[in-house]
Amino acid sequence: MSIARYRKVCVDATDPEPIGRFWAAALGRRWQPADHGEGGVFGVTPRQTVWINLVPEVKTVKNRVHFDIYARSLADLRELGATVVLPEGDDRRWTVMADPEGNEFCAFLREELPEDRLHGLVVDSADPAAIAAWWAEVYDAPVKHEAGGSTVENVPDMPILTFDFAPVPEPKTVKNRVHWDITVRDVEQLVARGATVLTPAGDDRNWTVLADPEGNEFCAFTDVRDR
């Protein structure tokens, strides 16, 4: 039995409006600003939400969490404000790009786009097999290990098809600018499995900020009605 369910994914931005509009257009969704300067990129279902958080700090290093998306052409993404970081080539079937605030993502070209263009959430990892197994236990989902990394499959309520963990040599040094939210019955179940509480829930915040065993931040909501 899972102790958590996927809720949504969040992206930090110093200026949420243009980033929200970029991702809404890139993913074929709609942007809706909120009163406090943030906003959401909304799809057909609540679980397709990409929330854009307002933060003061600018991006300084390569993101350790990124999106894999489908697109018809690189030109379409460039017109929206994306830039090419690393062209497709060698054994890569994708192009590494960056959104207008520099957040990296991988673009896979398709003549016919699927209904959901956001198909992957990729996490850089020191030990992909171990951290993928940790999240697989949290979600009660199967995990597949390969030479190039590990994938947690069929995550309950997660519309993103692949939840991947890729090996990288560099350590995590700053807060991730992309994170995901989950819903749990009891935060202590996560702590008992190795998560660390970074910021407890409070009067003005109905979620707890935690980090997984590799330091990846995530937010846990405890509203059981949302499960």
10: its two tokens: 């969040």
| Confidence class for position 203, pLDDT limits 50, 70, 90 | confident
- pLDDT at residue 202, rounded to an integer: 85
Q: Are 223 and 5 in contact (CB under 8 A)?
A: no
Pairing of strands 143-146, 149-152: antiparallel
Neighbours of 225 (CB within 10 A): 5
Question: Residue ranges per domain, the chain?
Answer: 4-226
Distance CA 107, CA 72 (A): 9
- CA-based radius of gyration for the chain: 17
- pLDDT at residue 226, rounded to an integer: 47
pLDDT tens digits for 25-35? 999 999 999 98
Which of 126, 194, 131, 211 lies closest to 163, judged by CA?
131
User: Would you say domain 4-226 falls under CATH 3.10.180.10?
Assistant: yes
Which of 206, 208, 180 lies closest to 196, judged by CA?
208
Distance CA 154, CA 137 (A): 12
- pLDDT at residue 224, rounded to an integer: 54
Q: First-to-last CA distance in the chain?
A: 13
Phi, psi of 218 (to 5 degrees): -155, 160
- pLDDT at residue 1, rounded to an integer: 82
> Could you tell me which residues come within 8 angstroms of residue 227 by beta carbon, excluding any fewer than 6 positions away?
5, 183, 185
Looking at the chain, the whole-number percentage of residues with pLDDT higher than 70 is: 98
pLDDT tens digits for 154-198? 999 999 999 999 999 999 999 999 999 999 999 999 999 999 999
Q: Which amino acid is at 166?
A: A
Phi, psi of 41 (to 5 degrees): -100, 110
Collapse the DSSP code of 25 into the 3-class scheme (helix H, G, I; strand E, B; otherwise coil) and give the result: helix
31: its two tokens: 């942007």
223 vs 98, higher pLDDT: 98
Q: Give the lowest-confidence range in 17-31, 58-72, 130-144, 201-215.
A: 201-215
**Per this entry, what is the length of the chain?**
227
The stretch 104-126 carries a mean pLDDT of 97
| Confidence class for position 105, pLDDT limits 50, 70, 90 | very high
pLDDT at 227 over 70: no
pLDDT tens digits for 44-80? 999 999 999 999 999 999 999 999 999 999 999 999 9
Q: Are 9 and 121 in contact (CB under 8 A)?
A: yes
